[in-house]
Amino acid sequence: MVDSRPGHESVRWGDLPNDDHLLNVLSGADPGTPSTEPIYLVCTHGRHDACCAIRGRPAAAVLAAAYPNQTWECSHVGGDRFAANLVFLPHSLFYGHVPATHAATLAAQYNKGSIVPAYFRGSAAVSAPVQAAQHFAREAGLSLSVDALHPIAVHQLAPAQWQVLLDNDGHPLEVKVSAHLTTINAALTCAATAPGQARTFTLTTPINSPSDPPLGGGR
């Protein structure tokens, strides 16, 4: 059982003798055995899309060689066009287009508590607008720590525009993003045909250094 909520990240292991026993796990009646070891998932679901197996299996092999007890091949995690897809738990960090030669390096940086922007897709623990806001904040030079830039509030300003407030080392940071569909004249996955469409986010206002007082403080 993995909890990926920001600030509550945890991993617990246990046996599941039957489906009904899952209710005991969810209720806390069976807390399982806590673990401080991260888990590395690699999507190798070739039946869903061949790209996931073609690109995922080599990445899984490299990760398993470095971290044999923590690496798992898994079924579909979404985003076939990003294969090879890696998911690092408990923070639910998604990496895409990962060359097999870089898989172990990304895991090593995660073990140190850091994100590698080059292949980073975002965290499934937060919504897509928050993921985009965190991306632009890191692109502006803010913290690459996995525990930084947690969301404080999200306000939808329009059907495809959001104002996101992030916790930047105790200070609120405002990031405004918008989303739109982009047509790409290419097959985005092994099973797809051209053209394809993808949702992309853009930064709508520049990111400035926060001038507000620390969260919870007064002027």
Q: Are residues 148 and 99 in the same domain?
A: no
Which residues form the domain of 185? 126-219
Among 108, 124, 140, the domain-final residue is 124
**Number of structural domains in the chain:** 3
Q: Are residues 184 and 110 in the same domain?
A: no
Q: Are residues 136 and 201 in the same domain?
A: yes
Q: Are residues 61 and 84 in the same domain?
A: yes
Q: Are residues 92 and 24 in the same domain?
A: no
Does the structure show a pLDDT above 80 at 214?
no
Contact 186, 198 (CB under 8 A): no
Q: Are residues 69 and 19 in the same domain?
A: no
Asked which of 24-28, 68-72, 171-175 is least confident by mean pLDDT, the reply is: 24-28
- In this prediction, what percent of the chain has a pLDDT beyond 90? 69
List the CATH number of the domain containing 62: 3.40.30.10
Q: Are residues 155 and 204 in the same domain?
A: yes
Q: Are residues 102 and 186 in the same domain?
A: no
Q: Are residues 5 and 80 in the same domain?
A: no
If you average pLDDT over residues 53-80, what whole number do you get?
93
Q: Are residues 101 and 189 in the same domain?
A: no
Q: Are residues 53 and 120 in the same domain?
A: yes
pLDDT digits (tens, 9 = 90+) for 93-117: 999 999 999 999 999 999 999 999 9
Among 106, 124, 142, the domain-final residue is 124
